[in-house]
Amino acid sequence: GENVEQHPSTLSVQEGDSAVIKCTYSDSASNYFPWYKQELGKGPQLIIDIRSNVGEKKDQRIAVTLNKTAKHFSLHITETQPEDSAVYFCAASKGTGRRALTFGSGTRLQVQP
């Protein structure tokens, strides 16, 4: 089955710096890659997603890039703020419609004021 690896496990940056989280996936048939943010005591919240027919997607300070050949995708957060501190998960799924998500192990991002 699909395997998603995520790095780093922890990341500490200064407020205003950029943060980059990287994931690799094993199944070349995967075609949907969402990123979730999970704050303490809450469920994962979708922050951005990308499909395999697109190489890059941006939403304000957040961007995601996808390299299908290398089977990796990355989350980029610019101008980080203390409220960006949380655990971030990448995920992958394949097919259309109703499909399970395979998650990475998470990255704990801490933004120092």
Joined together, the tokens standing for residue 111 give 């933004």
Q: Is 10 in the site for other proteins (CB under 8 A)?
A: no
Q: How far is the CB of 31 from other proteins (least distance, A)?
A: 9
The interface region with other proteins, picked from 12-20, 46-54, 61-69, 75-83 by CB under 8 A, is 46-54
Partners of 67 in the β-ladder: 72
Cα dihedral 38, 44, 48, 51 sign: positive
Q: Is 113 in the site for other proteins (CB under 8 A)?
A: no
Q: Is 98 in the site for other proteins (CB under 8 A)?
A: yes
Q: Are the CB atoms for 47 and 21 separated by under 8 Å?
A: no
Encoded one letter per residue, x for contact with other proteins by CB under 8 A and - for no contact, window 56-85 reads ------------------------------
Contacts of 98 (CB under 8 A, 6+ apart): none
